[in-house]
Amino acid sequence: MTDDAQGRPQVAATIYAVADRARVSIATVSRVLAGSARVTEATRRKVLAAVDDLDYLPSGAARSLAARRHHTLGLVLPELGGPYYAELLAGFETRAAELQQGVMLVIAGHARASTSAVRSLATRVDGIAVLGCDLEQLRAGTKKVVLIAGDDDPDVEVIATENLDSSRRLTNHVLGHGRSRLLFVGDPGAAHDVRERFDGFVAAHVGAGLEPAQPVLASFRESEGQGVAERIIAGDLRADALVCGNDELALAIMAGLLRAGVDVPGDISVVGWDDVMTSRYVRPGLTTVRQPVRDVGALAADRLHQLVTGAAREPDRHVLPTEVVIRGSCGCPENASAPDLDLPTLPHPQKVRVR
């Protein structure tokens, strides 16, 4: 076999090469690599030595084919902007790694291209977790599926966070500040969780005997928030409080209002959803709702794996609790003049090295 300039083989060694070198059969090599107990310590060492000598790396494809399992979980996300999806992905990957499962990622940007991307994904994984994308194409398949932040569906596994009640509480809190012309900013039709947040907004109004306004449709982008701010400044939209579908939107709107000289929260309260990093740093701090996003990702991987292995047979529905985080943008007095860094979201203890 010819080697290249770096002295490494140009073609990967197979299980046969290892078996030859260790003078055993491929079955024995396979057993050693699988950690089977039915192998003598002596032969185990022989095999391991051969593996090491040849830099043997098994073929995942051949393994999956023979074992009829990919040991890989798929995750389909609509995008990767903002900390929300990254955090979810981190939780998913971490739990998958603990379960010895690989992770394949698909960002389903355009519906057209993503359809084929998801199909292709399905050929290489044991199960798929989907967030915010249409999964009709997966329904028919034999792959296991977990829906994240999705609709209530009795025959599909769903992992979600609590939205309706926390949105109602958040809205009530804003109403408690004496505000009466509240606007919900976001598109309830865009995603199931946004719909629930709007429903909570409506529920709070109904509970207070008020008439809820129609939602101000906007997608979760800073640029759209800027546009909403302009409409408010122009008098096109009248409100003394804005309940926004997520933080990016709320932050962009708040920044636009502040820049125009509008007093937040004096003239208008602004609250968001997600508790992103920026929300802790801006002045006034953004009142928002924190979700256990990482846990959602981890649970998705966990349940998906259980479905694949058969540990779980029936699809279930999980709703994780959220937490309203009060800062200054709603009208509450600000606790400190700097970001509240002592949050549970900071996972690591402080350890500074200075020389």
Which phi and psi angles does 244 have, rounded to 5°?
A: -100, 150
Site for DNA in 53-112 (CB under 7 A): 56-59, 62-63, 65-68
Q: Nearer Cβ to a second copy, position 154 or 209? A: 154
Cα 179 versus chain centre, distance: 33
Interacting span for a second copy (CB under 8 A) from 35-43, 201-209, 238-246, 252-260? 252-260
Evaluate whether 162 touches 319 at the Cβ level (below 8 Å).
Answer: yes
CB of 176 to a second copy, least distance (A): 27
Q: Nearer Cβ to DNA, position 27 or 113? A: 27
| Binding track over 268-297 against a second copy, x by CB under 8 A | --------xxx--xxx--------------
Q: Is 270 helix (H, G, I), strand (E, B) or coil?
A: strand
Residue 49 interacting with DNA (CB under 7 A) = no
Q: What's the rounded Cα separation, in Å, for the pair 160 and 297?
A: 10
The count of residues interacting with a second copy (CB under 8 A) is: 94
Q: Nearer Cβ to DNA, position 31 or 173? A: 31
- Sequence length of the chain is 355
Evaluate whether 159 touches 149 at the Cβ level (below 8 Å).
Answer: yes
The continuous run of DSSP H or E covering 62 comes out as: helix 60-67
Site for DNA in 170-199 (CB under 7 A): none
Q: Is the sign of the CA dihedral 189, 190, 191, 195 positive or negative?
A: negative
Interacting span for a second copy (CB under 8 A) from 87-95, 203-211, 301-309, 321-329? 87-95
Residues 6+ away with beta carbon under 8 Å from 241? 174, 177, 179, 181, 182, 183, 268, 269, 270, 271, 330
Pick one of a second copy, DNA, none as the site partner of residue 70 (Cβ within 5 to 8 A by kind).
Answer: a second copy
CB of 57 to DNA, least distance (A): 7
Interacting span for a second copy (CB under 8 A) from 39-47, 86-94, 172-180, 200-208? 86-94
Question: Can you tell me which of 3, 9, 25, 81 binds DNA, judged by CB under 7 A?
Answer: 25
Q: Given 3-state DSSP classes, what are the helix, strand and coil percentages for the chain, each rounded to the nearest 5?
A: 40, 15, 45
Site for a second copy in 24-63 (CB under 8 A): 55, 57-63
Site for DNA in 5-24 (CB under 7 A): 12, 14-16, 23-24
CB of 279 to DNA, least distance (A): 48
Q: Nearer Cβ to a second copy, position 149 or 250? A: 250
Pick one of a second copy, DNA, none as the site partner of residue 39 (Cβ within 5 to 8 A by kind).
Answer: DNA
Q: In which region does residue 55 sit, left (phi positive, over 0), alpha (psi from -120 to 50) or beta (all else)?
A: left
Which phi and psi angles does 66 have, rounded to 5°?
A: -70, -40
Residue 223 interacting with a second copy (CB under 8 A) = yes
Q: Nearer Cβ to DNA, position 40 or 100? A: 40
Residue with tokens 């915010």: 132
Interacting span for a second copy (CB under 8 A) from 17-25, 79-87, 172-180, 203-211? 79-87
Neighbouring C-alpha atoms within 13 Å toward the C-beta of 344: 6
CB atoms within 10 A of CB 38: 6
Q: Nearer Cβ to DNA, position 14 or 115? A: 14
- Find the DSSP H helices in 150-191: 164-176
Pick one of a second copy, DNA, none as the site partner of residue 79 (Cβ within 5 to 8 A by kind).
Answer: a second copy
- In terms of Cα–Cα distance, which of 211, 227, 207 is closest to 219? 227
Pick one of a second copy, DNA, none as the site partner of residue 16 (Cβ within 5 to 8 A by kind).
Answer: DNA
